[in-house]
Each structure stands twice: as C-alpha cells, then as structure tokens.
Amino acid sequence: MRKFLPISVSFVFGVLMFALWFEDSESRSMLHFTLIDYWQIIFAFGLLVGVVSFISVASRKISRGEEPFYNGVLIFGALLMPTLAMIDGLQPNSYFQWMFENVQAPMQSSVFALLAFFVASAAFRGFRARNAQSIILLLVALIVIIGRAPMGEFVWGGFDELIQWIRDFPSTSAKRAVLIGIGLGSVTTSLRVIFGVERTYLGER
C-alpha cells in the first residue's frame, strides 16, 4: 500500500494533466483549473515544510553545539522577518520593507555580484591555449568579450555582425542539439514516472 498509493496517484494525475493539455471544452476546463488551484495550494504548503525543517535542523545543531553562532543567526533571521510583517504589515514604509530593501536586497545583490569576480578567475584558469579546440574557444571568447563591450565598435565595426553570427549559428545549433537530447530524456523520464516504473522518489531503485 505504501508504494501502490503514490504510484496510482502519479498515474491518474499524470495522465489527466496530459489529457487536459489538449482540451478546450468549458466543462473539462473547470477540472483543469481546479487541479491547478490544488497545485498552487500544495506548493504553498511545501514551503511550510521547508521553514519548519529549516528551523528544527538549525535548533538541533545548536543543541548539539554545532556552529551555534551561525545557526543562531539563521534562526534569528528566519523569525525576525515574519515577526516584523505581523507587527507592522507589508506596506511600503513598514519595518519589513525597510529590512527587505536595506538588508536583504543588498546582501543578495552582493552574492550575485560575486559572479563578476568568479567569471574572471574561472576565465583565467579555463581559457588556456592547450590544443586546437581550446585555441578556437579562446579566440571566440575574446571576440565576444571585446565585441560586446561598447569599446568593441571602436576597435572594429564588424564585431556586432560577427557576434550575432556566432550566436545564431554555431552557438544556437549546438544548444538546440543539447536541448533536443534533454527533451527526449524528459519525455522518457516522465513516461517512467507516470507508468510507475520510475520509483527512485519513493526510495526504491
């Protein structure tokens, strides 16, 4: 029963959602949109599971003496924001918005900005002229880096066209090939899940 029930549910809803993709009639639309409503509700409850797990894991780590300061900050932050929202609401001048705009957003932007540094260090290590292929890779990288900067137009007027050609042909065709492979993999994996052959998510192999 422990396996039968989830597999049956997967089959019924998998087939149903696939079939409903093609429908247009009003009566079946109601079923479609009711399912979509439930999808959103399940997703929202999933987040609740995450928050409970997040706080309980951090609390257990503190009680075991594992990185107490770090885990303490995690719990404090996780509780502070909803508390502020409950006390003062979410309106533009609330404490919550203030914290969001002045603490959370800059911290997240800083992590995003790290990409610029990591791109540079990865490029330094990765773009080495080791063989013919890596020389081609290096040259294309140089063309795109120079051409995509505004200075590129002063160096050579043809950069834009050349970069567009690289994007439209070699790059896009390679991406399409990978995408087709991924698409085929997705179709067969989905079929396996719908027909109950794929059971890894139940812990089986």
Q: Map the footprint of another protein across residues 94-113, applying CB under 8 A.
A: 97, 100, 104-105, 107-109, 111-113
- Footprint of another protein on 5-64 (CB under 8 A): 18, 21-22, 29, 32-33, 36-37, 39-40, 43-44, 46-51, 53-54, 57, 60-61
CB 118 to another protein: min, Å: 4
Of the candidates 55, 53, 19, which has an alpha carbon nearest to the alpha carbon of residue 35?
19
| Residue among 68 and 185 whose Cβ is closer to another protein | 185
Kindly identify the residues of this chain, within the stretch 150-189, that bind another protein according to CB under 8 A. 150-151, 153, 160, 164, 167-168, 171-172, 175-176, 178-182, 184-189
Q: Is 2 in the site for another protein (CB under 8 A)?
A: no
For residue 53 the two structure tokens come to 């797990």
* Distance of closest approach, residue 203 Cβ to another protein, in angstroms: 3
Q: What is the smallest separation between the CB atom of 7 and another protein, expressed in angstroms?
A: 13
Residues of this chain, 113-142, that bind another protein according to CB under 8 A: 113-130, 138, 141-142
E strand map for the chain: none
**DSSP string across 82-125:** HHHHHHH-SSTTSHHHHHIIIIIHHHHHHHHHHHHHHHHHHHHH
C-beta of 8 vs 190, nearer to another protein: 190
Distance between CA 180 and CA 174 in Å, rounded? 10
Neighbours of 67 (CB within 10 A): 13
In angstroms, rounded to a whole number, what is the distance separating the alpha carbons of residues 125 and 77?
37
Pick the closer one to another protein by CB: 113 or 136: 113
Query: Rounded CA gap, 194 and 145, in Å?
Result: 45
